[in-house]
Amino acid sequence: MIGKKEKKNDEREKKQKKEKERKNNQSKKYGKAAYLQSRRGVISCWLTGWSLAILLGCVGYAFLTRGKAAGIVGGIAILSLMLDIYGIWNAIEGFEEQDRKYLSCKCGIGIGIVQIVCFLGIFVGGLNL
């Protein structure tokens, strides 16, 4: 009799410990894998980075040629704008991925919008240095 009661008490204590650990794990992130960055957000950051590099390259080339290569620079700058718009679109789509970090999406959108504003400023007003 005593052996059966001890077994029941031991089993009950084990169940209580497991239940207590399970409740503690619910409020904390133990046992969960760390979230990765959104894939589309990372693609967005790469696209906006390349777009910025292309735009700066176009501005630099225009200064070096003293404005004589307007067609080439304009065409490549439009390509840069299209890359930037595609990057922003990727960042917006990246928010739909579940269980991911969205910092790269936010950075891609922010940098992309600033880049488009700068591009439009250069396109409309030009650079007067």
Domain positions in the chain:
35-124
State both tokens at 10.
Answer: 């031991």
- pLDDT tens for residues 30-75? 566 677 788 888 899 999 999 989 988 888 888 888 878 778 888 8
13-38 pLDDT, tens per residue? 888 877 877 766 665 555 666 777 88
What pLDDT does residue 85 have? 92
Neighbours of 116 (CB within 10 A): 16
In whole angstroms, how far apart are CA 46 and each of 37, 52, 58, 84, 119?
13, 10, 18, 10, 18
Share of the chain above pLDDT 70, in %: 81
Label the pairing between strands 36-37 and 100-101: parallel
Element (H, E) at 101: strand 100-101
Predicted confidence (pLDDT) at residue 96 exceeds the cutoff of 60: yes
